Chains A and B, each alone.
Chain A
Amino acid sequence: MRMTALASVLAIALLPACAANREGTKTASSTREAPQRYSRDPFPSTYRAYGGAPTLVQNVTIYDGEGGRIENGAVLFAEGKIVELGQSVTAPEGATVIDGRGKWVTPGIIDIHSHLGDYPSPAVEAHSDGNEVTGPVRPEVWAEHSVWPQDPGFTRALANGGVTSLHVLPGSANLFGGRGVTLKNVPGRTMQQMKFPGAPYTLKMACGENPKRVYGARNQMPASRMANVALMRQTWARAQDYRRKWDKYERDGGEMPPRDLAMDTLRGVLAGEILVQNHCYRADEMANILDMSKEFGYKVAAFHHGAEAYKIADLLRENGVCGALWADWWGFKMEAYDGINENIPLVHNAGACAIVHSDDPNGIQRLNQEASKALTYGRRAGLNITDEVAWTWLSYNPAKALGIGDRTGSLRPGKMADLVLWNGNPLSVYTRPQMVWIDGALMYDANDPRRRPVTDFELGQPGEGDVK
Chain B
Amino acid sequence: MSMGAGALLLTLMASAAPAQTPGQTVAITGGTVALGDGSDPIEGGTVVIRNGRIVAAGRGVAVPAGAQTVDATGKWVTPGIIAGFSRVGLAEVDAVDASNDVRASNSPFSAAIDVAPAINPRAAAVSISRASGVTRAVVAPATARSIFAGQGAVIDLGADMQPITWARAFQFVEFGETGASEAGGSRAATFALFRNALREARDVGRRQGISGGTDSQRLPRASDQREFPLEEVPDPNSPLLGSDVNRPQDVLLTRFDAAALVPVLTGRQLLLVHVERASDILQVLGLRREFPNLRLVLVGATEGWTVAEQIRASGVPVIANALVDLPASFEQLAATQSNFGRMRAAGINVAMGTINEDETRMVRVTRQNAGNLVALTKVPGASGLSWGEALAAITSRPAEVLGLGGELGSLRAGRRADVVVWDGDPLDTTSIPQLVLIDGVQQPLDTRQTKLRDRYLRPGEQGMPKAYER
Contact = CB atoms under 8 A, between A and B. Distances in A.
A227 B52 CA distance: 56
B306 A462 contact: yes
Nearest to B460: A314
B452 A430 contact: no
B367 to A, nearest CB: 9
Interface string B260-280: 000000000000000000100
A128 B84 CA distance: 31
B392 interface: no
Interface stretch (B59-67, B161-169, B180-188, B370-378): B370-378
A314 B327 CA distance: 42
Contacts of A369: 368, 372, 429
B432 A431 contact: no
Contacts of A430: 371, 374-375, 378, 428
Contacts of B457: 346, 381-382
A152 B427 contact: no
Contacts of B365: 328
Most buried by B among A152, A330, A362, A467: A330
Contact of B368 (A314, A429, A467): A429
Contact of A447 (B95, B124, B380): B380
A310 B456 contact: yes
Most buried by A among B365, B449, B466: B449
Interface string B328-346: 1110111111100000000
B147 interface: no
B306 A332 contact: no
A457 B361 contact: no
A206 to B, nearest CB: 15
Contact of A346 (B335, B362, B456): B456
B98 to A, nearest CB: 11
A362 B323 contact: yes
B456 A122 contact: no
Most buried by A among B371, B379, B429: B429
Contact count band on A:
35 or more
A22 interface: no
Contact count band on B:
35 or more
B93 A333 contact: yes
A428 B449 CA distance: 24
A337 B452 CA distance: 11
Contacts of B431: 376
Nearest to B456: A310
A121 interface: yes
B125 interface: yes
Contacts of B1: 379-380
Interface in B432-462: 432, 448-450, 452-453, 456-457, 459-460
Contacts of A377: 432
A331 B429 contact: no
A427 interface: yes
Contact of A314 (B124, B332, B459): B459
A414 B365 CA distance: 39
B429 A427 contact: yes
A346 B459 contact: yes
Contact of B125 (A329, A331, A342, A428): A331
B327 A458 contact: yes
Interface in B1-33: 1-2, 5
Contact of B2 (A342, A380, A423, A429): A380
B93 A331 contact: yes
A372 B429 contact: yes
Contact of B449 (A124, A311, A341, A446): A341
Given A331-B361, A346-B456, A462-B303, A121 B334 contact: no
Contacts of B330: 122, 124
30 contacts: A122-B328, A122-B329, A124-B330, A152-B326, A209-B95, A331-B125, A339-B449, A340-B452, A341-B449, A342-B453, A346-B456, A346-B457, A365-B323, A369-B368, A372-B429, A376-B431, A379-B1, A381-B453, A382-B2, A429-B374, A432-B375, A446-B380, A458-B327, A458-B333, A462-B278, A462-B303, A466-B325, A466-B335, A466-B336, A467-B381
Given A122-B330, A380-B2, 20 more contacts: A124-B330, A311-B466, A331-B93, A332-B94, A333-B95, A334-B93, A349-B459, A361-B328, A362-B323, A372-B429, A372-B430, A373-B368, A423-B378, A429-B429, A432-B378, A458-B327, A462-B278, A462-B303, A462-B334, A468-B336
Q: Which 6 interchain pairs have the tightest Cβ spacing?
A: A429-B371, A333-B95, A462-B334, A372-B429, A350-B459, A314-B459
